[in-house]
Structure 1
């Protein structure tokens, strides 16, 4: 899913603050309406003022369960990306994906769609006519400087299920508890869905070189003794080799565990572009508007999404201030 905010603010990412003595930092989501009056509203936990990255993970939109008859579902026209990977992971529903490198695939629950934008790509996302409820997450990974201009490509993977104590695990990026995929990454990363039964206590092994986040999709959950409300994100600093998750007695929990080695780089993120400077973002926006929206070079940097019934999404106006990375 694109960032469809009509007036997106720049996100200037450098070194996040160290948590002062806290074993768990709780990050509250903000509601972001995407598009018009019937558009979906997502719960965004990254990026935010308190924290902007977890490893290379730089964007978390958590949505649903939404009644598609009320929201209209997902209707995202062709739009561009640079300098990142999109990670699509569904709990309910089905989404039709098309992109400018010729991929046409369905996003289904428990299956990973991974799109590497690199130097530039465009894609569309539309919930299928049979979808009644839509529920899932859209994640972005910032590509490190050495890889941010790779040629764009698309992958689809189906992770195997495994068990970790009483919890069920599906690992869509990296490996955990015997589950994993061969998804291409450009920095060390972990992404996994955990289903934990009511009343269970599970110890999850962690890579101590990673920082981690635990997103609560459902259930009454504590992470190392800290209650984590629904749709909130628990942040864990590097240096830990395990975390204890406890679920209350009234229902099962669904969690998303994200982790990675700290990126250690400054980035500038605006709309659907990630660069390293103001000039990177300005150039990408100008090329999108000229080549695709104005139709001057349909085979240029962002290509053409074939099979989508409708036009591409124009870029918003840039802020009136210069975009600067900070550290």
Structure 2
């Protein structure tokens, strides 16, 4: 699959509590083989799955079996620990979407895992503009999915030459992730798969599409102030926490028991689980909110393909 990783990047670790953004496809599954991600663990974060085309079957250690479809959000809060698998369905011909993570604050990092699904209504905030609010509230539409810090997640589809003024919630940073089309964010060109970021304090931003139209994701939130250690599928507050999570996942498999991350039932694939990679031979370092210095321009994070 073609995957572009926009967050984390050298230029930026977080936008609000959004800490990870993989933008994948569009890929013809007849050529790529589609998505088949065997059971793997998460802790200290929540995953937000959003599709533009295709379907993905989600199974997790809570016993959830759900299908992610375009225009529907699946939010899985890992908390103290969960495992899940992701497989594109036979009905999928073109797979295209975004996999997003949210870092949990220390007060919620050990919460019980949970899964939520929501189908947001379409709102039309300007001529030629359609939006779906999948996290938070905007333009009179609110998502009921539960998040642990103030957040915003919205898909915005603009017809050719359409534009929309986005009211930025008070105190929010805002990222504009371009999926397709040519886009200008407050007059600055932003290429597909890049992320324009506006720091907290901006009250409104204008997003304009070129003649062919465009689709963007708005990702915002209050600046995340904590330092975290993020490695593989784990987020902790120290090297030791991440090491313990890795050992728990590996010892559960070695002992033939579910362990703290539980067991995913019903997954059928070439391997039973994804083993944790080896830790690097150095101490894992924490990362925090990197912010722009002078506020003179909207920074853009470029995202070269991973594959």
Unaligned residue ranges in structure 2 (runs of 5+): 289-307
Counterpart Cα distance in 1 of 2:52 and 2:248: 35
How many residues of Structure 1 are paired with residues of Structure 2 in the alignment?
A: 285
Give the conservation status (yes or no) of the 8 Å contact 1:171–1:181.
yes
Counterpart Cα distance in 2 of 1:207 and 1:114: 22
2:263 corresponding residue in structure 1? 304
- Which aligned pairs between 1:19-34 and structure 2 lie closer than 5 A? none
Give the conservation status (yes or no) of the 8 Å contact 1:86–1:115.
yes
Match of 1:244 among 206, 212, 221: 206
2:37 corresponding residue in structure 1? 76
Deviation at 1:246, TM superposition (A): 1.4
Deviation at 1:207, TM superposition (A): 1.2
Give the conservation status (yes or no) of the 8 Å contact 2:13–2:287.
no
- Which aligned pairs between 1:1-327 and structure 2 lie closer than 5 A? 40-166=1-127, 167-249=129-211, 251-291=212-252, 293-298=253-258, 300-310=259-269, 311-326=272-287
What SS does structure 2 have at the residue aligned with 1:147? Answer: coil
Deviations 1:135-189 (A, max 9, x none): 0000000000000000101011111111111211100000111223100000000
Deviation at 1:296, TM superposition (A): 3.9
TM-score of the superposed pair, with normalisation by structure 1: 0.86
Counterpart Cα distance in 1 of 2:198 and 2:24: 23
Runs (4+) of structure 1 exceeding 3 A deviation are none
Deviations 1:289-316 (A, max 9, x none): 010x213422x20110000114011010
Give the conservation status (yes or no) of the 8 Å contact 1:103–1:154.
yes
Counterpart Cα distance in 1 of 2:255 and 2:94: 36
2:301 corresponding residue in structure 1? none
What SS does structure 2 have at the residue aligned with 1:285? Answer: helix
Deviations 1:116-153 (A, max 9, x none): 00000000000001111000000000000000000101
Counterpart Cα distance in 2 of 1:214 and 1:190: 11
Give the conservation status (yes or no) of the 8 Å contact 2:2–2:27.
no
Counterpart Cα distance in 2 of 1:97 and 1:296: 23
Deviation at 1:256, TM superposition (A): 0.3
Unaligned residue ranges in structure 1 (runs of 5+): 1-39
Counterpart Cα distance in 1 of 2:2 and 2:279: 23
